[in-house]
Every structure is written in structure tokens, then in C-alpha cells.
Structure 1
């Protein structure tokens, strides 16, 4: 029996799929070994920790329910599995069942330190202060609140619930906190945005390990204190892979795209093998910066390093190609995925097609996703609603919105309501958009009213714009973009007194509009241009080339600058100069100067492209026989032979 037990346990260690677990389980059931506590516990453990599929966790739970006398280890394993799943609430049900059984006669299973630690993790993942504090009381009754493992998890739970003071009390009451407990408290300080306490605590720590420094770096990065994180990194002598990963991901999240790539290269030069985390981090930097060349280089590295077997890395690669404007390569990556496509894979591809204006393909892919048995989630529906919005498909969009609840039981969130307002607004159905907002079952947020205000800006509806602005004055009075939008509406219809009033109020309150910038990648380097006059360095090349382009466009291209929204009290020549210096024009000029004629110019812009720049790109693409791809903050515009993929509907 011992030999058979050992053989079965070894087989379980080799299992990486639910199918293989079921095959071994069937064999064990035939020979009567599946009820052996050691083997049953190993089966549950393998399903809960070694196999990521949610079906494996469900299978383990069903098997658990068939056991006559499950022990504490089995309970703890399932509680742990659910605490890290999409259904952490199930951990509470299992814990309560374990707690009730502990009062029975005989030798029933009882909650131990692991039981409390795992169920507290579930409370932390749900940010449930009520459940967490009740569990704290239960731990006290069982005499386990002072246990090092439980106390450390309590600190993390209170931090996730935003209760820094409660976390600090637990820490202060710990008789002998170890380095893990100190690190948990340090994390809690950062989690609750208490940077000064975090610094002070770090200085007080009697012992530090690499995790202590990594917690500091991560905390500063999440707080946007990039230079503080860099300072901690530079102070370290020996840096592990987690340290490098934290820096790369932090740079990407804070839009330090060049630094993310540079640190990734430095890590490779140091001989440190990249991990899933570092690759996803650097790919996300390429995606957000629109760095297509770097994405292709990383694709080659991923293939050589055998990371294509990792579904998360492949999804990141798919997302990067989609956001860099190469939807063909994104589709190639997607098509080479077969049985391991998950909801993220499908959603990324649908979103990429939608951003590029290939709406029919996006809708077809959504149907294929449903037929494949992969259930769309809330983000998938945002992507498909977005696709309908940018193609003016009102009826289809409304159908998908209804399908969320009626077919999949998903309650629409504020993002989905925002998509519907955008759907009506872009199509010029402003009355329907306002009616939809007024009848929403949840309170409209500033984002909803801002979406409506943006639609009013596109279609010049001053009356409704003023109403939306009144709501925004209450919800988010200090947002400069709202006033800029309203100012532009007044300018287009010639209400210059109102324009002046808004701009004077912004000046009085020292509010500044978000500066427009555009980025282009040339020879593996990203060049960033801002709107306005800045004659220095590489920008001088862009200005000189742009001057040449503008002269050619006026002479033979039929280009007339769109200056309606520029202040009325300056000369026409100055108005034209103002719109001529938009950052995307400078980026395209730089691309024409530096790139080979056969190459497509890819530009990434942080704001919505204006009408004048849109017309400029169309004419340049025709006169210079060049393809231009511009990604603004909401979609791609692919300019070729004098036309745009958006068909002037954006």
C-alpha cells in the first residue's frame, strides 16, 4: 500500500491539466485508494494550486463533498484555492462549515492558523472590512490572533481595506514580528498612501531582506514617486529578478516607456533571465507608447526564449501589436493560439479590431468566441460596445447592452453605460443620449457627463453642453478639460465673450489644459513632441520639414487650415500658425525626414486628433505617397491615398 501511495502521489505531482487528474482519479477509484486521506488531500491540493483552470477548483470541491470525514488540511486547501480565485466568497462558506464541525463530539477537524490565514486572504481580496474584522474576533476566540502567520495576514487584510490604523495596532501587538511581518506593515503603509510612515518604518526595521527593498520600490512606483524608487534601486548592491521586474513594471505604469525598455536591456546584460512579469511589463510599455519596432524585437526574443507557451505573455504580445497599430500581426499571434485562448485573448483581439475600425471583423469574432464556449466578461462587452460606437451601429450596440444581463447575467457597470452614451452621442442622437443618462438606474458619474459633453462638442449643441457642464461643476469642478471642451463649442459658433470668460476663469484659478503630445519611434528610439514652439535638438528637424510640407500642401494639395476654434482676436496668419504646430504634425514631419519612404509612419497621441490635423494627414498621405497611422486616445486612424480608415466618423 505504501508503494502504491507513493506512486500515486508522484503521478499527481506530474499533473498539469484537469484531464490528467481525472484519469488518475478514475484509476484510484477502481482500486479503492481515492478515499485514503493522504491521496485525497493530494488530489485536492493539485486541483487547487497546480492547475489554474476554475473547473479544477470546482472538481476538487465536488470530490471534497463526497468524502465522509475531510480533515483540516483538506478544508484549508479548498479555502486557499477559493481565496485566490474569482469566487473568494466561497472561502467563507467552507470556513464556517469547518468552524461548525469543530464543536461536534469526537475528533472533528478544527480551524488552525492556516485556516485563518487563508480565509483572511479571501477577505483581503474582497476588500471586506466587515468579514475581516469578524474573522479577527474569531481568531481571538481561538487564541490565534497573536500567531505570527495569522497576525501578518491580518495586517495585509486591514491594509487592503484601507484601515492603516487597524493594521498598525495588530503589528504593534505582535510580540516578536519577523521580517515578513515588518514587510507586511511596510506594504500596508504604502497601500494606505502613508509614504512618510513607510520611510520611517523602513529605517526602524531591525532586519531587512531583498523583499523589504522590493516593497519600497513597488510602493514608490505605485505612488508615482519614480525617482524615489530609482534611488532605492541604485542603493542596492545585489539585485534579484523581482527587483528588476518591479522597476520595469513601475516604469511602464508611470509612462516612463524608454526607461522600461532600457532597464529590460540592462537586466539581460546582467545575465538575469527575464520572467513572465518583466516581459509583460516591457510589452505593456511598448503597447502604451506605440513602439512597434521594439514590439517586433521582443516578439523574436519571446520565441527564442520559449515564452510563447505562456498564455499571459502571448496575450501581452497580442495587446502590444494591437495598440501599436499592426492588427495583422496581432491577428497572427491570436490565430496561432488554439485551445489555450482565454477570455483575455478574445477580448484583446476584439478590442484591437474595434480600435482599427474593422468593426465587422470584431463582431464576427465575438460570435466565434461565444461558439467556442468562452464566456465574455464585462471588459469584452466594453470592447464590442466600443466597436459599435465607432461605427454608428446603434441597434446592434443596444442589443449587446441588453445581452449582458439577459444572456450572461452581467450587471452593466458605469463603463458600459458610458459606452451607450458615447454610442448615441457620436451618432448625433444627443436627445436620446441625454434621455439615456436621465434614466440610468445608477447615479451618473463625471465620466458619463463628460462623455455627453464631448458629444456636444462634436455636434455643436451648446444648450445641452451647458447642462452637462453644470453637472460637472458639482461632480468634478477642477477638471480643466471640461472647460476647454465648452470653450471650443463657444468658439465654433462665434460666442467669443463666453470663450474669453471661460479662459479667464481658468487663468484666475490657475488651471492648465492637458498639454498635447505625440510620440514616434525611429531607429528603436521614441521621440516625443509637444504642441507649440520649441526649437531645440531633434525638434528643429521637425519644424524645418513641417514648414516645407505646409508650403507644398498650400500650393498643390488644396489644404485649408481649420481655424474656427482658434481665438478670434488674432490675425488669420497667426491662427494658421497655431494649428500648424500641433504635436502630431511635428511627429509626422519628423517621420518623413528620418524614415525610409517605404515605411509606414506610426504616431501615438495622448489627445483626440482635431479636424485640422485629420485633414492634414489625409492630404499628406496622398501627396507624399506614404501610409500614416495615428493612434489618438480612443482609436486608430489609418491614412492612405488621401482617405482615413475611420471614414471621417470619429
Structure 2
């Protein structure tokens, strides 16, 4: 951050002439410190680079894509990408990785990542294939639940690049993709947990992503005790500090089992600030189990949430208002329903039209 403000200071003086290396370093600093303020500064640097004639430089443009993607402005990142006359492997990596890293609108962004990957293959040959973001592509297939597309990518990798077992990142991506379509989602959580012991037998240490997948498997298999024990082991046995995703899995795990009070206490006692996703998970569980009192409590908390400092995410969504309104409607409390609806109108919260994805598979004859 210091380098960013130093650059801004000397720009204001107007006495120095900067080369493209300066813009690469400053844009890179903005990309590594995502926030509303750095996004604003990054846009200012973008304008300055354009006026200085450096937007034809491949490295400046690629770093700019990193900046926008890391700051969740994927539309601006794609605009820069589309305007480029030349692209390197790092450029393709930056754009595809940017799509797959978006938590909001994840499905749509993952779809765009796969479309971009397809377009890339139509025009990319040779050595570039060796250094493409295969892990991100497999992650997109995993998040979309597209087992067929993931299997096609798997086959392409084996036929044209390498054996997956020779590349730990590609191998891990394949395991994650198949596991999310197989063991975890089909209730075979115990088999997924057995893989943790198998990793130890081969001398491979699990990382935070490993525990996210395992806790996800416990949630879908209803392995409440096993999931809680696994969560405790992340720190005590494997010396891994739990991330917000791990806490979210435990809230989901307890909520699915009907332990709503325990899930609420777990969120309250978390050493890190809970986000809206955790509260929405508990709210959904309350609706499933018919606990209207807890659903009302959680719904009110959601509507009171405010974005943290420099947050890039919208905390309260239309779904949060509708969920609380439905709670009141289920209890016949129509006056409260009207109050929530009026609040939506006063804050100009509009409903979004529904949508769906349809996967089509074409077979060659």
C-alpha cells in the first residue's frame, strides 16, 4: 500500500516521467491488496497508463486484469482482456483464474471460464498448453457439477500434455472434481475420510483445501460427529488454522442435523467475524426444520449486517428480505410481512428474475 500512495504522490507533483515497469509494480500492488480504495486507485492508474501510452504493453494489460479480477470487478477485467491485441499464457491464466475465483455469481462466472477455455483451445497450440490454468478449469467443472466436461478435460490433459500423476496440481484438481461429483455428493463421506489416512501413508500433508472438501463430504453424508472431530483436528493434529470456509461447513453440518442452537452458539463464539454466508446457511436450516423463532432471530441479524471496511461485497441481498418475510408469513404474522416489504421498497431492493442453466452434450457421429 505504501508504494501505491508514493506513486500517487509523485504523480500529483507532475515532475517525473514513469516507464511501464512502474505501472506494472503499482497495479500489482493494487491487485495484492484488494479493497474498495485500491480498486479506485487502480482505476486511476489505469487511466494514467492509458494517457501515457502504455496500454499496448502486454505486461501492463495482464497485470491490470489481475487487478480487476482480484478486486471482484470481473467485467472490467474481461473488457481489458477483449481489447488486447496480443495475449500470453499469463493473460489467459489471469482471466480464467479471475472467473473461477468469484464467490458472487459463481455459477455464471464458472460458465464464462469454461467458454473462455474453449475459445482459447481453438487458437492456442504448442508449449502454451503446458502452462495453462488446468486447476482452475477443473475447479469450474467441479463448481458447475459438469462431470462430463471435467472428464473431457481429463482426457485432453492425458492425450496432449502429461500424466496427471506427474503433476500434483493437476492431479489434485482431478481428485477434487471427481470427488465433488462422486464421494461427497453421493453420501460416501466415510470413503472420502479414508483418503485422509491414505494421504498420510504416502507422506502427503493435507492443506486447507483438503479439509474444505472433507468437511463438505461430511455435510452431505450426515457425518456430524466425524465432521466435528475433523474440524478439531485441523488445528490440534495438523496445525492448520481454520478458514471461514471451514467454519461455514460446520454451521452447515450442525444445521443439517437439526442442531440449530449449537450452530448459533458456534457462530457467536467464532474467533473470526462471521459473514453473511454463514448466517444464511443457518437461516436455511431453520426453515427446513421449522424453527420459526430461530429463523426470525437469524433473519434480523442478516438485515442488520453491514459491509466491513473496504469490503467489496454486498452484505444484504433480496433473498435475505424474502426469507424473513416468509418466516413471518408462515407464522401468520402479516403485519411483520408488510413491514419487511416496506423496508425493501425504502431501500430500493428489487427482485431478480430467476434463471437456470441447461447443459447440452453433442455427440459426433
Q: Residue 62 of structure 2 aligns with which residue? A: 214
Name which of 134, 141, 145 aligns with 1:290.
145
**For the residues of structure 1 that align with 2:65 and 2:361, how far apart are their CA atoms?**
31
Q: Residue 49 of structure 1 aligns with which residue? A: none
Q: CA deviation at 1:206?
A: 5.5
**For the residues of structure 1 that align with 2:304 and 2:224, how far apart are their CA atoms?**
30
**For the residues of structure 1 that align with 2:98 and 2:269, how far apart are their CA atoms?**
41
Flag the 1:465–1:251 CA change in 2: closer, same or farther, 3 A: closer
- Structure showing greater Rg: 1
Q: CA deviation at 1:522?
A: 0.9
**For the residues of structure 2 that align with 1:198 and 1:489, how far apart are their CA atoms?**
47
Residues 1:197 and 2:50 aligned together: no
Residues 1:277 and 2:118 aligned together: no
**For the residues of structure 1 that align with 2:245 and 2:61, how far apart are their CA atoms?**
37
**For the residues of structure 1 that align with 2:48 and 2:90, how far apart are their CA atoms?**
22
Contact 1:264 1:278 in 2 (8 A): no
Contact 1:460 1:489 in 2 (8 A): no
Flag the 1:202–1:189 CA change in 2: closer, same or farther, 3 A: farther
After superposition, give the CA deviation of every residue in 1:301-340 in whole Å (9 maximum; x if it has no partner): 21121333332223233333444x3x3xxxxxxxxxxxxx
Q: Residue 174 of structure 2 aligns with which residue? A: 317
**For the residues of structure 1 that align with 2:192 and 2:118, how far apart are their CA atoms?**
35
Query: Structure 1-normalised TM-score?
Result: 0.46
**For the residues of structure 2 that align with 1:258 and 1:245, how far apart are their CA atoms?**
16
Q: Residue 241 of structure 1 aligns with which residue? A: 89
Q: CA deviation at 1:440?
A: 4.2
Flag the 1:445–1:280 CA change in 2: closer, same or farther, 3 A: closer
Q: CA deviation at 1:184?
A: 1.4
Residues 1:168 and 2:8 aligned together: yes
Contact 1:359 1:388 in 2 (8 A): yes
After superposition, give the CA deviation of every residue in 1:456-486 in whole Å (9 maximum; x if it has no partner): 1111212222222333333247333322222
Paired residue secondary structure (1:519): coil
Name which of 180, 192, 204 aligns with 2:21.
180
Consecutive unaligned residues of structure 2, counting only runs of 5 or more, are 103-107, 307-314
Query: Could you say what the CA RMSD is over the residues aligned between the two structures, in angstroms?
Result: 3.5
- The 5-angstrom pairing of residues 339-358 of structure 1 reads 353-358=183-188
Contact 1:252 1:285 in 2 (8 A): yes
Q: CA deviation at 1:197?
A: 0.8
- The 5-angstrom pairing of residues 249-260 of structure 1 reads 249-253=97-101, 255-257=108-110, 259-260=112-113
Consecutive unaligned residues of structure 1, counting only runs of 5 or more, are 1-157, 328-352, 526-650
Q: Residue 503 of structure 1 aligns with which residue? A: 341
After superposition, give the CA deviation of every residue in 1:15-34 in whole Å (9 maximum; x if it has no partner): xxxxxxxxxxxxxxxxxxxx
Contact 1:289 1:519 in 2 (8 A): no
Residues 1:479 and 2:317 aligned together: yes
Contact 1:221 1:251 in 2 (8 A): yes
Contact 1:171 1:181 in 2 (8 A): no
The structure richer in strand per residue is 1
Name which of 488, 504, 510 aligns with 2:326.
488
Contact 2:39 2:68 in 1 (8 A): no
After superposition, give the CA deviation of every residue in 1:195-227 in whole Å (9 maximum; x if it has no partner): 431332212335553212222333344455555
Residues 1:430 and 2:260 aligned together: yes
Residues 1:522 and 2:360 aligned together: yes
Contact 1:484 1:513 in 2 (8 A): no
**For the residues of structure 2 that align with 1:405 and 1:257, how far apart are their CA atoms?**
31
Residues 1:379 and 2:209 aligned together: yes
Q: CA deviation at 1:493?
A: 4.0
Residues 1:407 and 2:248 aligned together: no
Q: CA deviation at 1:518?
A: 2.8
**For the residues of structure 1 that align with 2:271 and 2:118, how far apart are their CA atoms?**
50
Q: Residue 117 of structure 2 aligns with which residue? A: 264
Residues 1:304 and 2:152 aligned together: no
Greater relative contact order (CA < 8 Å, ≥ 6 in sequence): 2
Q: CA deviation at 1:395?
A: 2.7
Q: Residue 295 of structure 2 aligns with which residue? A: 465
Flag the 1:379–1:247 CA change in 2: closer, same or farther, 3 A: closer
Q: CA deviation at 1:165?
A: 1.4
Flag the 1:178–1:256 CA change in 2: closer, same or farther, 3 A: same
Contact 2:251 2:282 in 1 (8 A): yes
Flag the 1:470–1:523 CA change in 2: closer, same or farther, 3 A: closer
**For the residues of structure 2 that align with 1:237 and 1:164, how far apart are their CA atoms?**
28
- The 5-angstrom pairing of residues 66-81 of structure 1 reads none
